[in-house]
């Protein structure tokens, strides 16, 4: 038997600090706020927090534009607060995973400020400069496909930014830059962080002159070097590292996560997200295509040398109960069904704050309600592409990142208990019905399904290691068996507002989890309810 690492049995919880809990009434979530809610997270049962960026930042992209990698943004707190969070979380057996944003920095980072001063200073080569721009394009410009190059008037040269012009790309070909990054990572590891989530890490090996952005030839060399110089050296395979890799395929995921290669623990793949977007475009509409979803997950479950991560939601995506589930009549059942489907597969599950409450998308009606740079610039893109004004808000609303970023709904008091002040982004008006206090008081809530799934993973090796086999079923029924140690488990989910049927030759030994109250002792010919989902051990 392979030795199980802690992060293979644990569930990770993502916190978007700005939106989680405000502790001082300024309307912005902060580190002390997180500390106040650790008991809630402990009750849920998570093993680690992935903390979206809390570093000093002008917040052009809400912290994904860092101006000081070794300090905390004042709106979130201080270094002392961060040390306190690490220590308090540790007492609850929760590790802190920091967000590592090193494809680019902020243009307000001291390195870039220096780099701009002259062509021949030490920091110039920390960034990417050319006399003439090439055809590389950038998001967040409001001018799709906007140029990824901005002219720096002082030198007349252009600098590269694959995101907003306030996010200049770092030059990974420069060994001095790489050494600085590893040193900074060690600064945080020495303070006790348990690992890193690595922002758009598949881009650091880019070859600018070939206009090759993801999966450049040196990418894996850099990751191996990083591992040796920082988390591998400090924590060995206790470190949890997860790369954000929109370009990942099962083949490349094995390069990143095969332990023998000593790179990362796992990566986030996005095929189950992008394949549901119309024309593969984020703001053209989303439709859950269950046969396609089955095909994608079944393929990823076959990963052999590497390790999967499993997620529906994050700070860049809409709420899954709204996009893939039914956030009206079947909100609770569909939220549970999606959780059961995901959490009993092979890989490390991630929960995004509020997902465990079945939080929904926000009812956006007006462009002024969006905060996110991506939403605002995408709206401009659509307008320039000739999309009629009346269609722009609904198109952005469906997939906007702000859906995930509205404040966490703690209770039914004003502003959902998130802040006593004015929240930086409006609270979803459904907070009186959907909130943590209500969930905790209701044994049938979505919260307890997540709690149970986390517990099951801790206690059952079949969830961690069992072989995965997809069953041939009705289109909208996603059913798989996991085989482990001579035992057999069935996980079945009806991803539909309609009833469906399922038949099998098996008999049930034990019901492990089920989101309806009907009996399951005979599964020879089942009439499945809308969004019915369960896991059973078979005889």
Q: Which does 200 bind (CB under 5 to 8 A by kind): ligand GLC, Ca ion, none?
A: ligand GLC
Q: Which is nearer to ligand GLC, 101 or 340 (CB)?
A: 101
Tokens for 270, please give them.
Answer: 């996005």
Active site includes 190?
no
DSSP secondary structure string, 29-87?
Answer: --HHHHHHTHHHHHHHT-SEEEE---EE---TTTTSS-SEEEEE-TTT--HHHHHHHHH
> DSSP letters of 367-427?
GGG---HHHHHHHHHHHHTT--HHHHHHHHHHH-THHHHSPP---SSGGGGT-SS--SSPP
User: Any contact of residue 476 with Ca ion (CB under 5 A)?
Assistant: no
**If we measure between CA atoms, which residue out of 138, 172, 99, 104 comes closest to residue 374?**
138
Q: Which stretch binds Ca ion (CB under 5 A): 15-23, 279-287, 319-327, 370-378?
A: 15-23
Q: Which residue is nearest to ligand GLC (CB)?
A: 64
What is the distance in angstroms between the CA of the first residue and the CA of the last residue of the chain?
A: 23
Out of 26, 83, 254, 497, point to the residue binding Ca ion (CB under 5 A): 26
Query: Which one among 6, 24, 40, 191 touches Ca ion, defined by CB under 5 A?
Result: 24
Q: Which of 10, 11, 28, 508 binds Ca ion (CB under 5 A)?
A: 28
Q: Which is nearer to Ca ion, 30 or 402 (CB)?
A: 30
Beta-bridge partners for 277: 286
- For Ca ion, which is the closer residue by CB, 85 or 273? 85
CA 223, CA 361: separation in Å to the nearest integer?
Answer: 36
64 touches which of Ca ion, ligand GLC, none (CB within 5 to 8 A by kind)? Answer: ligand GLC
Alpha carbon distance 107, 74 (integer Å): 18
As measured in angstroms, the least distance from the Cβ of 88 to Ca ion is 17
Q: Are strands 500-503 and 525-528 parallel, antiparallel or unpaired?
A: antiparallel
Which of ligand GLC, Ca ion, none does 531 bind, CB closer than 5 to 8 A by kind?
none
C-beta atoms surrounding 534 within 10 Å: 23
Residue 32 contacts Ca ion per CB under 5 A: no
Q: How far is the CB of 1 from ligand GLC (least distance, A)?
A: 35
Nearer to Ca ion, 75 or 244 (CB): 75
- Least CB distance from residue 31 to Ca ion, whole Å? 9
In the set 81, 244, 313, 476, the catalytic residue is 244
Alpha-carbon dihedral 41, 44, 46, 48, rounded to 10 degrees: -10
Q: Which does 22 bind (CB under 5 to 8 A by kind): ligand GLC, Ca ion, none?
A: Ca ion
Residue 28 interacts, among Ca ion, ligand GLC, none and using kind-specific CB cut-offs from 5 to 8 Å, with: Ca ion
Vertex 267, ends 262 and 271: CA angle to 5°? 145
Q: What residues make contact with ligand GLC under the rule CB under 6 A?
A: 61, 64, 101, 163, 199-200, 244, 315-316
Considering 22, 61, 81, 199, which one is annotated as catalytic? 199
Closest CA relative to residue 44, chosen from 348, 341, 460, 351: 351
User: Residues 53, 82: contact at Cβ < 8 Å?
Assistant: no
Query: Considering the complex, what minimum distance in angstroms separates the CB of residue 368 from ligand GLC?
Result: 21
Contact 242, 347 (CB under 8 A): no
Q: Please give the C-alpha separations between residue 102 and each of 18, 49, 199, in angstroms, as whole numbers.
A: 21, 20, 7
Q: Which residue is nearest to Ca ion (CB)?
A: 30
The answer for residues whose C-beta is within 8 angstroms of residue 448's C-beta and 6 or more apart is 439, 442
The reply to whether 81 sits near Ca ion by the rule CB under 5 A is: no
Catalytic annotation present for 244 = yes
Alpha helices per DSSP H over 118-212: 175-190
CB of 532 to ligand GLC, least distance (A): 33
The 3-state DSSP class for residue 225 equals helix
Compare residues 408 and 481 and give the one whose CB is closer to Ca ion: 408
- The one segment of 29-37, 207-215, 219-227, 254-262 that binds Ca ion by CB under 5 A: 29-37
Least distance in angstroms from the C-beta of 315 to ligand GLC = 6
Q: Which stretch binds Ca ion (CB under 5 A): 22-30, 149-157, 228-236, 486-494?
A: 22-30
Is 22 one of the binding residues for Ca ion (CB under 5 A)? yes
Min dist CB 72 to Ca ion, Å, is 12
Q: Which two tokens stand for residue 57?
A: 């930042």
Residue closer to Ca ion (CB basis): 30 or 99:
30
If one counts every other C-beta atom within 10 angstroms of the C-beta of residue 386, the result is 6
DSSP-derived 3-state class of residue 493: strand
Residues 50-69 binding Ca ion (CB under 5 A) are none
Q: Does 295 bind Ca ion (CB under 5 A)?
A: no
Out of ligand GLC, Ca ion, none, what residue 479 binds, judged by CB under 5 to 8 A for its kind, is none
User: Which residues of the shown chain bind Ca ion in the complex (CB under 5 A)?
Assistant: 22, 24, 26, 28, 30
Residues acting as catalytic residues: 199, 244
């Amino acid at each position: 038997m392979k030795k199980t690492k802690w992060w293979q049995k644990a569930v990770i919880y993502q916190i978007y600090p700005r939106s989680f809990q405000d502790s001082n009434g300024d309307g912005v979530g902060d580190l002390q706020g997180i500390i106040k809610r650790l008991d809630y997270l402990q009750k849920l049962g998570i093993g680690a927090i992935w903390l979206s960026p809390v570093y000093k930042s002008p917040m052009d992209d809400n912290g994904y534009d860092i101006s000081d990698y070794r300090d905390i943004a004042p709106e979130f707190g201080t270094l002392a607060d961060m040390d306190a969070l690490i220590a308090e979380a540790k007492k609850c057996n929760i590790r802190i995973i920091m967000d590592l944003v090193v494809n680019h920095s902020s243009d307000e980072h001291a390195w870039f400020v220096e780099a701009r001063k002259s062509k021949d200073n030490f920091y110039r080569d920390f960034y990417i400069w050319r006399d003439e721009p090439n055809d590389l394009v950038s998001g967040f410009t409001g001018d799709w496909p906007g140029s990824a190059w901005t002219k720096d008037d002082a030198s007349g040269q252009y600098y590269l930014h694959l995101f907003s012009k306030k996010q200049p790309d770092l030059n990974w070909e420069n060994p001095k830059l790489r050494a600085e990054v590893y040193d900074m990572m060690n600064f945080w590891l020495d303070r006790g962080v348990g690992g890193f989530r690595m922002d758009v890490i598949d881009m650091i090996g880019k070859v600018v002159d070939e206009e090759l952005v993801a999966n450049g030839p040196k990418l894996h060399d850099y990751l191996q070097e990083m591992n040796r110089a920082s988390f591998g050296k400090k924590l060995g395979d206790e470190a949890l590292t997860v790369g954000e890799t929109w370009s990942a395929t099962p083949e490349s995921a094995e390069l990143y996560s095969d332990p023998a290669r000593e790179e990362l623990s796992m990566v986030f793949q996005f095929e189950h997200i992008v394949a549901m977007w119309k024309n593969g475009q984020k703001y053209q509409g989303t439709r859950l295509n269950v046969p396609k979803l089955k095909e994608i997950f079944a393929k990823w479950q076959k990963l052999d040398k590497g390790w999967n991560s499993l997620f529906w939601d994050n700070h860049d995506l809409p709420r899954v109960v709204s996009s893939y589930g039914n956030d009206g009549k079947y909100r609770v059942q569909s939220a549970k069904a999606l959780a059961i489907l995901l959490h009993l597969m092979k890989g490390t599950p991630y929960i995004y704050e509020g997902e465990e409450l079945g939080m929904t998308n926000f009812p956006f009606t007006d462009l002024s309600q969006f905060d996110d740079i991506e939403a605002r610039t995408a709206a401009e893109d659509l307008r320039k592409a000739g999309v009629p004004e009346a269609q722009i808000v609904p198109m952005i609303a469906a997939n906007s990142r702000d859906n995930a970023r509205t404040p966490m709904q703690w209770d039914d008091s004003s502003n959902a208990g998130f802040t006593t002040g004015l929240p930086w982004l409006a609270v979803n008006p459904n907070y009186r019905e959907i909130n943590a206090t209500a969930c905790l008081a209701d044994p049938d809530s979505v919260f307890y399904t997540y709690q149970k799934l986390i517990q099951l993973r801790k206690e059952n090796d079949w969830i961690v290691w069992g072989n995965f086999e997809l069953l041939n079923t009705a289109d909208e029924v996603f059913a798989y068996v996991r085989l482990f140690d001579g035992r057999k488990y069935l996980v079945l989910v009806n991803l539909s507002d309609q009833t469906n049927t399922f038949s099998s030759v098996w008999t049930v030994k034990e019901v492990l989890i089920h989101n309806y109250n009907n009996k399951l002792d005979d599964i020879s010919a089942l009439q499945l309810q809308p969004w019915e989902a369960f896991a059973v051990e078979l005889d």
